[in-house]
Structure 1
Amino acid sequence: MGRTPDADVLVDDRLVAELLAEQHPDLADRPLRLITNGWDNTLYRLGDDLVVRLPRREASAVLIEHEARWLPELAALLPVPVPVPERTGRPTWRYPWSWTVAPWLPGRSALGLAAAERAPLARPLADTLTALHVPAPADAPHNPVRGVDLRLRDVAVRGRLTASPSPAAPALAELWTELVDTRPWQREPVWLHGDPHPGNVLVEDGRLVALIDFGDVCAGDPVTDLAAGWLFFEADARAEFRVTADEARGYEAADWRRARAWALVLATALDAHSDDDPDMAALAAHTFAQVLLPENP
C-alpha cells in the first residue's frame, strides 16, 4: 500500500494566522487548533464555531473553489447540514490557492463506528444522497475520476489490484472484469457528492447529523454515491439502503451493478493510499469483503 500524498505547500499555524490577519482580521484573534492534515486539505479549528480549510496540494486546489461556488446552492437540497463556506480567502504571495472558512459542524466521524453500528444510518444516508441526485447545470464541475464511465477507471483499478497485498486481490480483479462493462448511466448528469465514505459523514447519538467534504462534488453518474452501500454497511443494512434509494430515484439493476463496481474503485484507492491511516486501511478491507459477498446485485 501507499501513503497519504506529500503536501506541495506546508500549511502551519503561522501561515494560517497570517492569512487570517491579512484577509479576515475580525477573525484573527480567535484561537487556532490543527484538526487534520488530510489527503487533500489541512483543517484548522478557528474558535468554537468555525473551521479553516486550506488545500495542501495543487491537485486539490480547484476542489475548494468548487465547494465555495456550489455548496450554497446544494445545501438547500439536503436534509442535513453541510459546511457551506462563510468566508473565502484569495491566493497571495504567502499561499498560492483559494481557501475557505466554514461553520464547524458538531458530531463525530462515522469512520470510528463498526459497520454494524452504522446500520441505523442506512435510510437517512440514502435519503441524503438521493436528495442531491437532481439534474446538474451545464456548468457543473466535471471530475475525471468520479461519476464517469467505469471503463475510464479500468487501468487504475487493475493497477491497484496488481499492487495490492490483499489476499482477495485476485477475486476482486475477477469481479471487476465482470462489472466494468456494465451498461453506463442512461440519463442526464446529476449532482453527486463524489466521496461517499464514512469519514465524510458526521453522527451524533447514532443519528446522521452532517455530510461533509464536498471537494469531489461534480455532475455525472450518481452511482458513485450509491457505492456507500458497500463502504458503510453489511448486507442487511445495505439492502435497506438500496430499497430507500430505489424508492426515491427508481434506480435499476444495472445502476446497482455499477454502484458495486464503484465501491471497488473507491476501496482500491483507499487500499493504495492508507498505510499511514489504519482506519482507512480497515475501511478498504471491509469494502473488499462486502463487494465479494454473493448476494450483492
Structure 2
Amino acid sequence: MPVDIDVALVRRLLAVQFPRWAGLPVERFASQGTVNAIFRLGDDLAVRMPLQEEDVAAEARLLAGLAPVPVEIPVPLAVGEPAEGYPWAWSVQRWLPGAPIGLDSSVDREQLADDLAAFITALRRTDIAGAPRAYRGGPLAELDEGVRKAIADLEGVIDADAATAVWETALAAPSYTGPGVWAHADLQPGNLLAEDGRLSAVIDFGTAGIADTASDMTVAWSLLTGPARDRFRRALGADDATWTRSRGLALAIALPELSYYRGGRNDWMATIAEHVIGQTLAP
C-alpha cells in the first residue's frame, strides 16, 4: 500500500520519537532519488525516509565502522521506528552541503577523477571481516539474464548488437579471485555531491559491502571521459580485466535502468542511463 510521505508525517514522527528536534523547520528536499525521500530539518540536519523497506540500523552501524575517507559521508544521529502509518525504520542525519554532480555539472573532471580515486582507495582500507556482500558485489554472470532481457526490451532504442558484444566481452574477462574490497557499489551521479567545484560528499550507502575491485569503477562511465577517465584508471591501478569488468557492470546497471525509467517514469535517471550506455558502447 503506498505511503504518503510528506512534511506533516515527518513532523508527527519527530514530535513523538525525537521531540528535541520537533520545533525545527521541515522542508522536503527536491531529489531525483528513487529509494529515499529526504527532508531538510533546520539548518544542520536531514530526515531520510526510505521508499521501501531497508535495514536502516544496519546501515548506520556500517557507516560508523568505515575507514576515514577524504569526503563527507552521512552521519546517522538517530534511527526512528515505524509509526503514524509509516511502515519502516527511518533516520535523522547530519545535513551534507553540496549539490548532486550531474552530467552537465561545472566540475573539473580531471580533479573529480582524482577525488573519486582517493575516496575509493580510502574506503578499501576498511576491514572486510564480517562485512556484508555489496548489492552488486558478485560475478557478472549473475546479472546475465537481466542484461539480456533489457537488451531485448531496448531493441530499436539502443544498438543491441553492440551492447551484446560489450557485455559478452565483459563476461569473458578473467574473473576477480581476491577476497573482495569495501565498495559503495552505487557511485551514481545522484549519490555524489560537489561544493566549490570539488567532490564534497558521498551519500546513500545502502548497497555498500564487499565487492569485486571493479565495482566502484563504474563511475568512470557516467561522469568521466577521455583524459579524466584514463587518469582515474591509472590512480586505481586497474588492469585490463578489471577495467573490462567495470565497463560491463556499468552497462549491466544502465540497461535495466533505461528500460524501466524511460518514457517519463524518471527522465533524470533515464538520461543518465542512456549516457552510460553510450559511453560503454563507444569504440
TM-score (norm 2): 0.91
Partner of 2:201: 210
Q: Percent identical across equivalent pairs?
A: 37
**Residue 34 of structure 2 is aligned with which of 35, 39, 46?**
39
Higher mean Cα deviation, 82-91 or 107-116?
107-116
Partner of 1:49: 44
**Residue 181 of structure 2 is aligned with which of 174, 177, 190?**
190
Q: CA RMSD in A?
A: 2.1
**Residue 29 of structure 1 is aligned with which of 23, 30, 36?**
23
Q: 1:71 aligned to 2:100?
A: no
Partner of 1:293: 282
Partner of 2:140: 150
Partner of 1:122: 113
**Residue 88 of structure 2 is aligned with which of 93, 97, 109?**
97
Cα distance in 2, alignment partners of residues 43 and 140 from structure 1: 27
**1:86 alignment partner, SS class:** strand
CA contact (8 A) 1:40 1:57 kept: yes
Deviation at 1:132, TM superposition (A): 0.9
CA contact (8 A) 1:147 1:223 kept: no
Relative distance call for 1:112 and 1:220 in structure 2 (3 A) is closer
Relative distance call for 1:241 and 1:37 in structure 2 (3 A) is closer
Q: Deviations over 1:207-247 (max 9, x none)?
A: 1111111111111213110111111111221001101111x
Cα distance in 2, alignment partners of residues 169 and 95 from structure 1: 42
Partner of 1:278: 267
Higher mean Cα deviation, 220-229 or 117-126?
117-126
Q: Deviation above 3 Å: which 4+ runs of structure 1?
A: 114-119, 134-138
Q: Deviations over 1:80-115 (max 9, x none)?
A: 110111111123363222111111111111015359
Cα distance in 2, alignment partners of residues 169 and 8 from structure 1: 36
Q: 1:171 aligned to 2:165?
A: no
TM-score (norm 1): 0.87
CA contact (8 A) 1:66 1:215 kept: no
Say how many residue pairs are matched. Answer: 279
Unpaired stretches in structure 2, ≥5 consecutive residues: none
**1:88 alignment partner, SS class:** strand
CA contact (8 A) 1:111 1:279 kept: no
Q: Deviations over 1:64-95 (max 9, x none)?
A: 33321111221x42111101111111233632
Supply the AA of the counterpart residue of 2:181: V
**1:262 alignment partner, SS class:** helix
Relative distance call for 1:34 and 1:128 in structure 2 (3 A) is same
CA contact (8 A) 1:168 1:288 kept: no
Unpaired stretches in structure 1, ≥5 consecutive residues: 1-6
Partner of 1:109: 100
Q: Deviations over 1:121-155 (max 9, x none)?
A: 01111111121123643432224x40111000001
Partner of 1:13: 7
Higher mean Cα deviation, 199-208 or 146-155?
199-208
Relative distance call for 1:115 and 1:288 in structure 2 (3 A) is farther
Cα distance in 2, alignment partners of residues 66 and 191 from structure 1: 16
Cα distance in 2, alignment partners of residues 243 and 122 from structure 1: 10
